[in-house]
């Protein structure tokens, strides 16, 4: 039996109906192995939590940044609610140790799939808080764990995707626009891996890999930012 009281203390929510909290961490795969489990998986409650998260963040940005165009606000919001950010929040509250997963999923750590599972569980948790305690308490959670990161996001331009960020910084610092070249492809058609080079002029700055050219370019840009210490 999992003990959720430590998690409740950490997030400062004492659930009236503990099943909401428990359901928020039930992954679909667990029910395949435990069909007798008394709760459904977390996808419906995650659907609700996603909407609650979106409205809380949107309202905050709308009210606090009246001069900022909606295009910029959209980018800021995306940086606060994307799966990478939500997975960071999951780590902060150690949500992973509460997940109900199949044996296969439980072994499969440190992958993109696990990041998505953790991100989805955070959205489901927000949905659970909303169902149990209403918008005020759900909003408190979002402010504490997501909106508190906004200053850092704005200061470091983390709202830009890596390609846009590398381009903006390279134009600002060395007055050069970067470009990408495909260096190679491997694997069968249904499961290709692309390798892409990121260049400034003729200088190769970094190489990236991905299942699409776009993904490989993003990977190269992320590595380029680190390599240049930008």
Task: Write down the number of H helices and E strands in the chain.
Answer: 12, 3
Parallel/antiparallel/unpaired status of strands 203-210 and 179-186: unpaired
Provide the 8-state DSSP code for 202.
Answer: T
- Classify burial at 31, counting beta carbons within 10 Å of its beta carbon; exposed 0-12, middle 13-18, buried 19 or more: middle
Q: What is the dihedral of CA 25, 29, 35, 37, to 10 degrees?
A: -10
- What amino acid positions are annotated as catalytic residues? 50, 123
Residue 57 C-alpha from the chain's centroid: 15
CA nearest neighbour of 42 among 20, 31, 21, 27? 27
């Amino acid at each position: 039996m999992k003990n959720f009281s430590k998690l409740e203390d950490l997030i400062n929510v004492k659930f009236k109906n503990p099943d909401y909290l428990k359901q928020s961490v039930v992954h679909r795969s667990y029910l395949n192995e435990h069909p007798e489990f008394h709760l459904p998986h977390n996808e419906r409650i995650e659907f609700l939590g996603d909407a609650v998260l979106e409205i809380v963040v949107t309202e905050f940005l709308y009210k606090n940044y009246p001069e900022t165009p909606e295009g910029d606000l959209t980018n800021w919001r995306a940086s606060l609610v994307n799966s990478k950010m939500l997975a960071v929040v999951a780590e902060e509250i150690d949500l992973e140790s509460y997940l109900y997963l199949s044996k296969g999923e439980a072994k499969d750590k440190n992958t993109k799939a696990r990041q998505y599972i953790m991100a989805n569980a955070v959205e489901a948790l927000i949905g659970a808080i909303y169902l149990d305690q209403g918008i005020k308490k759900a909003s408190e959670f979002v402010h504490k764990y997501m909106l508190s990161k906004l200053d850092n996001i704005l200061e470091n331009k983390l709202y830009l995707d890596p390609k846009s960020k590398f381009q903006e910084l390279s134009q600002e610092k060395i007055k050069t626009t970067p470009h990408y070249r495909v260096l190679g492809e491997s694997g069968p058609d249904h499961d290709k891996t692309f390798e892409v080079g990121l260049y400034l002029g003729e200088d190769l700055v970094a190489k990236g890999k991905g299942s699409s050219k776009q993904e490989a370019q993003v990977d190269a840009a992320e590595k380029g930012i680190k390599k240049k210490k930008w």
